Chain A
Amino acid sequence: MDLQDLFHFSETFALDGVEDPYVVVARRPAESVLGLRLTLALIQVSNLEWLSICASLCARDRSRAMAPEAATKLFGAPDFYMENGECLTDCMLPLIAMPSSPAELHTVYKYIRPDLARNLVARLQEPLAKCGSVLAMHQTVLEDMIITRLDDLIPEVAATCNDTLRFKFVSELR
């Protein structure tokens, strides 16, 4: 067990122009790594735009981008593509359709939160297992990390309402 395992430090790498780093979640012999980055994104599902959790995966070999075919072969995840010189794929969870608010988003998130991290880790493990890869950290550590990150991304926000119920002329408000 090395120092990272002992203290649950996670190894990360950053991409140019991307604010948050990718956390290494899988590793293959040599220096091929699979990084995970969680964000919120708007995606089109049927005719609606859904606010979704996006688990972006980035495959790298010796700190360089990997070819999509090689990434699929090593890590099993489907649909790798090249974007800005990086080998990426996305795993999505639509949460709430627009129009919606941050408060409603948090309500939905709170409802599915208990199963969410476990399901995402299972989804990541599925293709890894097929090609003989394993997670780079303990499953529970990864689940904790995912939940911590998602809690930051989707904070509890209450709607700001007015309960004075008094009309005012525009000039009085400005």
Chain B
Amino acid sequence: MNIQQLFQFPETYSGREGGLPHLIVARHSSGASLALRLTLNLFAVVDSTWVSILASFCARNRDHQPLDLATCAKIFSAFDFNMFERECLAEGVLPLVAMPCSPGEVRTVYESMRCNIVRNLATDLEWRIERSGLSLAISRSLLKKLIAFRLNDQFPAVPVTSNDIPSFLFSFNRADLRHNQKERERMMVTSQATQELLDQHIAKIETFNSLRRK
């Protein structure tokens, strides 16, 4: 038993595309491992864009080298591996809130369903691991805790800043004023602005996590 097993530190490795590390959650008898990464992403579903939880799985062999698609499909049969640009990945998505929405709303929705999300993801993961003939690399309780912690980091609390004084004011700086030319574009503008801010927010989280890793 090594020190990681003793203290139940999860083993991790970085995907080729960088970003948050993948946590090793399952192992195959051949020594291959399956790792999970949870991030917050924008995902297109039909004609809407949804703020979604993305569960990304990648696989490595005994020597920590990436596996090819055929091997992944054979060893991790219950996971839907596909060849992405640089690596074989299986990506699971849980759409949470459709755009336009604010970070505050995303957090609220997540908070209201947190327990079920964690339990469902952990249960689904265990079922797929068992069906593929793999063994869990960490205990069940630690798996749930890790999922909960990881998700919690992805949803920082962002309070809404609003004005409750209904007083109109003259003399705003015109240079800072950007009129919406057509009112029918209103929702789009709101959506775009929110989306841009959310993108920035996600980028900040990624940067923060990569710095923390270093």
Tell me the A residues contacting B by CB distance below 8 Å: 18-20, 39-44, 48-51, 53-56, 77-79, 81, 89-105, 108, 111-112, 115-116, 119-120, 123, 152-153, 157, 159-163, 165-173
1/0 per residue B176-213: CB within 8 Å of A?
Answer: 11111111001101100110011001000000000000
Q: Are B172 and A90 in contact, with the CB atoms below 8 A?
A: yes
Q: Which residues of A contact B162 (CB under 8 A)?
A: 95-97, 100, 104, 108
Name the residue in A94, A101, A152, A166 with the highest tally of chain B Cβ atoms < 10 Å from its Cβ.
A101
Residue of B nearest to A116 (CB): B166
Q: How far is the CA of A111 from the CA of B102 in the complex (A)?
A: 19
Q: How far is the CA of A42 from the CA of B176 in the complex (A)?
A: 9
Q: Are A19 and B183 in contact, with the CB atoms below 8 A?
A: yes
Least Cβ–Cβ distance between B196 and chain A, in angstroms: 9
Q: Which of B65-113 contact A (CB under 8 A)?
A: 79-80, 82, 90-98, 100-105, 109, 113
Q: Are A91 and B168 in contact, with the CB atoms below 8 A?
A: yes
Q: Are B98 and A91 in contact, with the CB atoms below 8 A?
A: no
Q: Are B102 and A101 in contact, with the CB atoms below 8 A?
A: yes
B117 close to A (CB within 8 Å):
yes
Q: Are A43 and B172 in contact, with the CB atoms below 8 A?
A: yes
Q: Are B163 and A96 in contact, with the CB atoms below 8 A?
A: yes
Q: Are A78 and B183 in contact, with the CB atoms below 8 A?
A: no
Name the residue in B162, B176, B197 with the highest tally of chain A Cβ atoms < 10 Å from its Cβ.
B162
Q: Are A159 and B190 in contact, with the CB atoms below 8 A?
A: no
Least Cβ–Cβ distance between B125 and chain A, in angstroms: 9
Q: How far is the CA of A153 from the CA of B22 in the complex (A)?
A: 46
The DSSP consensus for interface residues of chain A is mixed
Q: Contacting A92 at CB < 8 Å: which of B120, B124, B172? A: B172
Q: How far is the CA of A81 from the CA of B177 in the complex (A)?
A: 13
Q: Are B166 and A119 in contact, with the CB atoms below 8 A?
A: yes
B48 close to A (CB within 8 Å):
yes
Residue of B nearest to A51 (CB): B190
Least Cβ–Cβ distance between A28 and chain B, in angstroms: 19
Asked whether A160 and B186 contact (CB < 8 A) given A104-B104, A167-B92, A170-B92, the answer is no
Q: Are A79 and B171 in contact, with the CB atoms below 8 A?
A: yes
Q: Which residues of A contact B1 (CB under 8 A)?
A: none
Q: Contacting A78 at CB < 8 Å: which of B161, B163, B171, B180? A: B171
B174 close to A (CB within 8 Å):
yes
Q: Which residues of B contact A168 (CB under 8 A)?
A: 92-94
Q: How far is the CA of A153 from the CA of B95 in the complex (A)?
A: 29
Name the residue in B79, B117, B194 with the highest tally of chain A Cβ atoms < 10 Å from its Cβ.
B194
Residue of B nearest to A96 (CB): B162
9 closest pairs, A vs B, by CB?
Answer: A160-B98, A97-B161, A44-B176, A112-B166, A99-B197, A169-B80, A167-B92, A101-B102, A108-B162
Name the residue in B45, B90, B113, B183 with the highest tally of chain A Cβ atoms < 10 Å from its Cβ.
B183
B136 close to A (CB within 8 Å):
no
Q: Which residues of A contact B45 (CB under 8 A)?
A: 173
Q: Are B183 and A153 in contact, with the CB atoms below 8 A?
A: yes
Q: Contacting A100 at CB < 8 Å: which of B95, B117, B160? A: B160
Q: Contacting A162 at CB < 8 Å: which of B96, B167, B181, B193? A: B96
Q: Are A96 and B94 in contact, with the CB atoms below 8 A?
A: no
Q: Contacting B169 at CB < 8 Å: which of A44, A93, A105, A152? A: A93
Least Cβ–Cβ distance between B157 and chain A, in angstroms: 13
Q: Are A165 and B179 in contact, with the CB atoms below 8 A?
A: no
B138 close to A (CB within 8 Å):
no
Residue of B nearest to A81 (CB): B174
Q: Are B170 and A78 in contact, with the CB atoms below 8 A?
A: yes
Q: How far is the CA of A170 from the CA of B55 in the complex (A)?
A: 10
